[in-house]
Amino acid sequence: MNDGAASRAGHATNYLGDGPVSATLSTTLELAALAVGFSHARLHILDEQHQYVLAAYGDPDSVGLVVDRSTTTCRAVVDSAEPLVIGDAQTAPVDPALTTPLTAAGLRTYVGVPLFSREHTAIGTLCVTDPVPHSISAADVTLLQKYARVVEEQLELQRDRTRLPDDTGLDDVAAALSRGEIQPWFQAIVDPSDGAVRGFEALSRWVHPVHGVLTPAHFLPAVRATDIMLDLDLDILRAAADLMRAHEATLGDELVLHVNIEGGHLRRSARLQRLLDALRGAAMPPERLAVEIIESTVGDDDHTHRALETVRDLGVHVVVDDLGRGWSSLSRLVHWSIDGFKLDASLTSSLGTPAVDHLIRGLIDHGSANGLIVIAEGIETAAQNRALVAMKCPQAQGFLFQRPGPVPVIPDL
């Protein structure tokens, strides 16, 4: 088994528990099928040798079915990590090995979109099928990709219920920090018009020796509002800067490193001083560092304003993160001492709707008029990217361009 295959198989088995899957998965499949007008939908997990049916709509008796991977259509989706559309299995100009499983089952139309693990490996598919030919639009594929993200979240919850301890606390996270298990993972920030990389965001991941790669949702709640949170933020800052510096031969020496900083650090002088010291001592020059701060975690007082100005006085960029999530105060874009802001995925997911397009266009225009960095987060589809290009959004970030990984790498776009 080659390294890639072994990695894929290892990640896939994380989702093949002994117990029944959540009924919510079947409901999600039903909604996905009905949304695009198909009669059947399945959730498949594929390891190196087999395909497993975890949930199904339209043929519930297929749940639990295990078949040879080489005889499936979905293997092409997992291997490429890209959607596959077969409008009519009897006439489609694709490999007959992919259409034969469909025609043998009396099916004519197939659309499969990949499912990704938290380790960012394709481990399965959400696929819809029908015994009659369909005309499938790009909007249909985009909609199924959105349902796939919902399925991924449900799979992660199920994985955690069966594999993760319920009592992870502050001491566990502190010990993981001391062992070097909490590490930066990198996602590129690009110019949506041409794919040119402008920087990377360092995202924290717990590389757990038993449970695999854990996202912040699994460990930040235990340490938020504690001094351990500051230790974590500063460890990620230092380690990410070291890795960016180590890879300058391939990355160049102009890309900006974005790191997340808990807003509460700004309100306590001792924490602020430690942050300033870490920024000064980082392996990258301050003008190539950007701290991202969620505006809902920061006060709107004179002390906060002075703290932001102190960070900027070092030459470090200050970026408001997750603008558009919850109740954002747009006045802070005017009165705070900042260098830019990021449009949250809760906004960008609705690109293409008039109300959201008008709002985002206005924010981009505000940023352009005031010399602010504007980054659109959560970009997953080509249609979203086209909308950003039309609005002249200068920077974007999301799975369309790159999934996070342990080393900063220029994506092949």
pLDDT tens per residue, range 363-373: 999 999 999 99
Q: What is the pLDDT of residues 187-224, one digit of tens each?
A: 999 999 999 999 999 999 999 888 788 888 888 888 88
- Please count the other Cβ atoms lying within 10 Å of the Cβ belonging to residue 1: 10
**What pLDDT, on a 0 to 100 scale, did the predictor assign at position 169?**
82
Average pLDDT of the chain to the nearest whole number:
88
**What pLDDT, on a 0 to 100 scale, did the predictor assign at position 215?**
84
Kindly tell me if the per-residue pLDDT of 297 is higher than 90: no
CA-to-CA dists, residue 136 to 36, 129, 161, angstroms: 9, 11, 36
Residue 168 CA, distance from chain mean position: 23
Strand locations in 324-378 (E): 340-343, 373-376
Q: What is the pLDDT of residues 96-124, one digit of tens each?
A: 999 999 999 999 999 999 998 876 778 99
**What pLDDT, on a 0 to 100 scale, did the predictor assign at position 1?**
31
- Average the pLDDT over 373-392 and give the result: 93
pLDDT band at 226 (very low <50, low <70, confident <90, very high): confident
CA–CA gap between residue 29 and residue 172 (Å, rounded): 37
CA–CA gap between residue 75 and residue 80 (Å, rounded): 8
**What pLDDT, on a 0 to 100 scale, did the predictor assign at position 45?**
94
CA–CA gap between residue 240 and residue 319 (Å, rounded): 18
Kindly tell me if the per-residue pLDDT of 48 is higher than 90: no
**What pLDDT, on a 0 to 100 scale, did the predictor assign at position 238?**
97
CA–CA gap between residue 265 and residue 243 (Å, rounded): 24
Q: Please answer whether residues 117 and 142 qualify as being in contact, where contact means their C-beta atoms are separated by less than 8 angstroms.
A: no
Q: Please answer whether residues 316 and 289 qualify as being in contact, where contact means their C-beta atoms are separated by less than 8 angstroms.
A: yes
Say which range, 35-39, 136-140, 242-246, 293-297, has the weakest mean pLDDT.
293-297
pLDDT band at 6 (very low <50, low <70, confident <90, very high): very low
CA–CA gap between residue 106 and residue 103 (Å, rounded): 5
CA-to-CA dists, residue 54 to 29, 95, 383, angstroms: 11, 26, 30
Query: Which of 6-10, 218-222, 343-347, 365-369 has the highest mean predicted lDDT (pLDDT)?
Result: 365-369
Question: CA nearest 78: which of 148, 134, 130, 157?
Answer: 148
Say which range, 115-119, 251-255, 324-328, has the weakest mean pLDDT.
324-328
- Average the pLDDT over 59-69 and give the result: 91
- Please count the other Cβ atoms lying within 10 Å of the Cβ belonging to residue 247: 17
Q: Is 150 helix (H, G, I), strand (E, B) or coil?
A: helix
| Strand (E) or helix (H) holding 33 | helix 23-36
- Average the pLDDT over 273-279 and give the result: 96
Enumerate domains of the chain plus CATH numbers: 3-163 (3.30.450.40), 170-396 (3.20.20.450)
- Average the pLDDT over 16-28 and give the result: 76
CA–CA gap between residue 374 and residue 368 (Å, rounded): 8
CA–CA gap between residue 263 and residue 225 (Å, rounded): 10
| Strand (E) or helix (H) holding 152 | helix 138-163
- Average the pLDDT over 372-397 and give the result: 94
The residue count of the chain comes to: 413
DSSP string, 306-368: HHHHHHHHTT-EEEEEEETSSS--THHHHHS--SEEEE-HHHHTTTTSHHHHHHHHHHHHHHH
Say which range, 56-60, 68-72, 83-87, 292-296, has the weakest mean pLDDT.
292-296
Question: CA nearest 112: which of 159, 150, 72?
Answer: 72
Specify whether the backbone of 64 is left (phi greater than 0), alpha (psi in -120 to 50) or beta.
left
Specify whether the backbone of 214 is left (phi greater than 0), alpha (psi in -120 to 50) or beta.
beta
Contacts of 135 (CB under 8 A, 6+ apart): 87
Say which range, 26-40, 144-158, 381-395, has the weakest mean pLDDT.
144-158
Contacts of 97 (CB under 8 A, 6+ apart): none
Q: Is 45 helix (H, G, I), strand (E, B) or coil?
A: strand
